[in-house]
Amino acid sequence: MYHGSSLIFLPDDCTPYLPVKRQRIKASRPAFEPAPAPTAPPHPAPARSNGFRQKKSTYRMSAAPSGRGRCRRCRAVIAKGETRLEICAFVRPGRYTLLLRCTAPACIDAPLRAAILSVYKSVECVPVDAVLEGSAEAQRVVRAITSAGLSA
C-alpha cells in the first residue's frame, strides 16, 4: 500500500486551460513628430502649494492630567498636576497634534517665545486652564516666557 500523495491525472491536451497571452496592437505613428512649443501657464504657479492654507499653532498653559506626557525639548516626564505648555500644531484640515513642553527655564527658549508672540501678540493673552487661573505658577510661567531669549 502506498502512503504518499495521491496522483492527479491530466488530460493529454491542456491548451484550452492555459491562459492566452494577449498581444498589443501598435498604432501607426509617423517616424518623427515635432514636440509642441512650450507655453507659459496662464497664472504663475505658487512656489509650494499643499492644497490648503496652513494655520498657526495654538498654545495653552495647563496642569498635566496624568504623568504620561513628556517634554518635547528635554524629554523629561511631566508629572501629574505639574504645569505644562500645550502646543496644538496644525497638520492638515481637521487634523491637529498635541505637543508638550515642561515649564523648566531651559525648555522655554527664544524660538518658543517668538512662536507664542506671533500668535497672541502678548504673553498675557495665552489661554490658561481654569485650575491654574491666577495662580503664582501661571505668573511664573508668563514671566519665564517673557524673559526667554532676552539674556542671551
DSSP string across 31-44: S--PPPPP---SSP
How many Å apart are CA 110 and CA 147, to the nearest integer? 9
Q: Which CATH number fits domain 58-147: 1.10.1660.10, 3.30.420.40, 3.30.1740.10, 3.40.630.30?
A: 3.30.1740.10
Choice among 33-37, 80-84, 129-133, 144-148 with the minimum mean pLDDT: 33-37
What is the value of pTM for the model shown?
0.62
The phi and psi torsions of 15 (rounded to 5 degrees) equal -60, -35
Task: Round the CA-based radius of gyration of the chain to a whole number and report it.
Answer: 33
Look at 32 and 149; give whichever has higher pLDDT.
149
> Domain residue spans in the chain?
58-147
How many Å apart are CA 18 and CA 152, to the nearest integer? 78
